[in-house]
Amino acid sequence: MPVEPLPDTHKLLIQECMKKAVLDEPAVQELARKCFLVVHGPGAYNPEEFNQIIATINNALEKVDMKLERGRHPNDGRRFYALINLRADEASKYATEYTNAEIIFFKKLVELLVNSTDESFEILKINAINAGENCTPKTKPKEAGVLVERFKDDGWLDDRDEHWVLGVRAAMELQFYLRQEFPDRTKICDACQEVLLHDVVWCSTVGCKFSVHKHCERTYMAQLVRKVCPQCRQSWDAQSPENNARPRFEGTENQNDDDDKEQEDEVADCQVTLRELSRHPPSTKTRRVYWEDDGDLAPVRKRHVPQANSEEAMENQDESEDQVAKRRRMKGKAPARDG
């Protein structure tokens, strides 16, 4: 069966998409309109045929293991398109625009992002620059600074204040890689079935593993009359790293509750101590203190020492002093005490 040639409008659209690493859906629709305008003139483009245009293009690209992939931004859910490679063999690695050292550096960044301790899938920009020192071959900080900006321009990273997060192109192209390399840290959105990167919320019920993108949560919960978790059926209370939630991953400990309990115990101990002091205030009664001077012990009124107002404590103290004086007298080093 002969293969129908790809229309010129579709070829032109592919060429335009290749000029940009990532394009949002409105931009691709506008490019399609312009392509039809150039080839066929005004009024030739029908917006309702947009999805069919993309499907026709992908049928042709499939023969060369390429695809004009549509994905959602992991942050706000906007639709994006990117021309991606479907092959994962050794030969395809040499078709990339990055060198081997640059790919190794990017993989290190992905590792740090996925293994972030607070489950935010973020990395400080300064840490990203210094990450190249732990790569083989090393990437110097100056080179790393330029490279991360390039990753951003190409859609692999996104800028968020003082942090880097995985970008929309990474969300589209690294689905299989993340599941394979980080199976224990990679979770799937229970709504869209894509990998959860950042901007994630999950059920607050202990033991429930329901997790979704924030934009998926908004879409899903908007359809419900009663906001309940679809998995455990408990009242929905979205948890995320921003609100010090319980850990999303099994085996990850959350120390916030333990820290709060420890602080409460310390406050309670202090309150007990204050109550005891109010009942038995310390006194400043003068104590006799024996000191040794040139081999002799002599009772002196040396200083005022605060002491608890307890007769038992005073008796124990006097007994101790008598024992010391008696021992010294037996050695012939001190006179007998009066009384």
Q: How far is CA 319 from CA 298, 303, 314, 322, in A?
A: 17, 20, 9, 5
> What is the average pLDDT across 22-27?
94
pLDDT attached to residue 160: 85
The full set of domains in the chain, from first to last, is 8-89 (3.90.1150.220), 96-188 (1.10.10.10), 289-330 (no CATH)
Q: Is the pLDDT of residue 260 over 80?
A: no
Residue 88 binned pLDDT confidence (cut-offs 50, 70, 90): low
Q: What is the C-alpha separation between 169 and 152, in angstroms, rounded?
A: 10
Cα-only R_g, the chain? 37
* Closest to 139 measured CA to CA, from 99, 168, 199: 99
Helices (H), the chain: 8-18, 25-40, 50-61, 90-93, 100-114, 125-130, 141-153, 168-173, 175-181, 214-221, 256-279, 311-330
Per residue in 261-285, pLDDT (tens digit) is 554 555 455 555 445 545 554 444 4
Counts of helices then strands in the chain (DSSP H, E): 12, 11
Stronger pLDDT, 96 or 213, i.e. the higher one: 213
Stronger pLDDT, 269 or 119, i.e. the higher one: 119
Calculate the average pLDDT of the chain.
Answer: 77
pLDDT attached to residue 138: 93
Strands 289-293 and 238-239: unpaired
Locate 53 and state its tokens.
């245009």
Q: Is the pLDDT of residue 171 over 80?
A: yes
Contact 166, 181 (CB under 8 A): no
Residue 153 has a CB neighbour count (10 Å cut-off) of 13
Stronger pLDDT, 91 or 14, i.e. the higher one: 14
Stronger pLDDT, 100 or 311, i.e. the higher one: 100
High-pLDDT (> 90) share of the chain, %: 33
pLDDT attached to residue 85: 82
Locate 186 and state its tokens.
């990679």
Q: How far is CA 98 from CA 92, 120, 147, 184, 337, in A?
A: 12, 27, 10, 28, 94
Mapping DSSP onto H, E and C, the string for 196-221 reads CCCCEEEECCCCCCCEEEHHHHHHHH
Q: Is the pLDDT of residue 121 over 50?
A: yes
Per residue in 277-314, pLDDT (tens digit) is 455 544 444 333 333 344 444 444 444 444 444 454 44
Residue with tokens 């607050």: 204
Residue with tokens 């390399």: 181
Residue 77 binned pLDDT confidence (cut-offs 50, 70, 90): confident
Q: Is the pLDDT of residue 148 over 70?
A: yes
- Reported as type and span, the H/E element at residue 81 is strand 79-85
> What is the average pLDDT across 158-177?
88
Q: Is the pLDDT of residue 110 over 70?
A: yes
Residue 152 binned pLDDT confidence (cut-offs 50, 70, 90): very high
- In terms of average pLDDT, the best of 159-173, 281-295, 321-335 is 159-173
Buried b (16+ CB within 10 A) or exposed e, 64-80: eebbbbebbbbbeeeeb
Contact 34, 12 (CB under 8 A): no
pLDDT attached to residue 287: 38
95, burial (CB in 10 Å: exposed 0-12, middle 13-18, buried 19+) = exposed
